[in-house]
Amino acid sequence: MTTHFPGSRISIVLDADGVRRFATEARQTQPTRILAVVERSAFTRDATGQKHGYVPFSSSIMSHGHLAQRSQRGLHFDFAVTLCDSIHRPVITLTGTCGSGELDVAILDVIAEFTGSSRIACSGAIDILISNRDGLGHQELASNPVFCLNPAWLFGLNMELANHVNTQALAATRQAYQSRSSVIAYTDGSLPHHGQDRGAGAMVTMQGHWASQVTPKRFSRSPLMAETTGALLALRHTPVDSDLIIFSDCKALVKSVNDAVSGLQGQRGAHDIAIDVAMARRRGDTRAIWVRGHNGNCFNEAADRMAVLMARHFNAGINPEQTYSLMQKIVAEELSELALAV
């Protein structure tokens, strides 16, 4: 049985393995491969279920000698899959939403639903053209044997029309949360009681990033300098054009950041100067908000625990790999309830 796409010359035929695939006038013995152009748009959800645009951090976050990673918890995608015919013309765009690590299955399901068939399981059955502009990688797609990502024969093809279709298909969902694409960071600091020890700062963002670093050597050993270190992580690694909101339980730090934004002058300490330097490169809006510490906010609690761990482990000379592993556990424990299903 052959099924035709509405308004197109392309058709689908039922193959011997029970899967419906594209058919062409000059059908070959082997099932015809599907060409699909994939576009995705990442977002996160907060504890209330509100949707937030995902904003990637700068690549330099991994090269400054501190511990950092992007957490996949709570990360979701709106995606569009444009199916093309045998001469590479876009035919139809299918859209959907999925959680992190489920993009490969979601693509197969949306194609199966459209064609009225079971999920395709034939190795290398689908050639996918997909970009990596958000920097999140293609691990789930690359590990799925059904997909051949950006195959060599695709390079040089003019897929401008297909990409335009994708953009149009995602326009509504992007607009729904584009206005909420600020980076929201919770920061904290810790200074051990020993006078000779270094302090540390940490941050956790609602976009799914975390980082921790010991205080710079030039900083005097004070709790405020440790708090400032956490804020500097957010200031330096947020994309320069993105708005940034810093939540901190340190009122002195909040005042310092907001004074720098307002251009207020006065007696400027080392922490104020460090904040001024970090903010000089930014073009997006920046503001700081005080939040009560140890009041049940999971982001604030995570930043606090990470700063304490970083300071203690650094001063004790513990293997950074062990510290990194424990940091991941802290993020998982504190933010586990935020891995909301869409």
Provide the mean pLDDT of the chain.
Answer: 81
Region for residue 247 given its phi and psi (left: phi exceeds 0; alpha: psi -120 to 50; beta: otherwise): beta
Q: In DSSP terms, which residues pair with 39 in a beta bridge?
A: 80
Residue 166 has pLDDT above 70, yes or no: yes
Q: What is the pLDDT of residue 12?
A: 60
Lowest pLDDT segment from 91-95, 273-277, 333-337: 333-337
Pairwise CA distance, residues 272 & 136, whole Å: 34
Q: Is 50:342 a contact under the CB 8 Å cutoff?
A: no
pLDDT in tens, 20-63: 555 554 343 344 678 889 999 888 877 677 888 888 776 555 55
Pairwise CA distance, residues 293 & 298, whole Å: 10
Other beta carbons less than 10 A from residue 286's beta carbon? 23
Contact partners, residue 317, CB within 8 Å, separation at least 6: none
Lowest pLDDT segment from 136-150, 230-244, 273-287: 136-150
Q: What is the pLDDT of residue 96?
A: 93
Q: What is the pLDDT of residue 300?
A: 92
Residue ranges with strand state E in 114-249: 126-130, 147-149, 183-190, 200-205, 209-214, 244-248
Residue 321 has pLDDT above 80, yes or no: yes
Give mean pLDDT, residues 122-146. 83
Other beta carbons less than 10 A from residue 80's beta carbon? 25
pLDDT in tens, 169-223: 888 777 776 666 788 999 999 998 766 788 999 999 988 789 999 998 877 778 8
Q: Is 231:248 a contact under the CB 8 Å cutoff?
A: yes
pLDDT in tens, 248-275: 999 999 999 999 998 877 677 888 889 9
DSSP state letter for 264: -
Rounded to two decimals, what is the model's pTM? 0.73
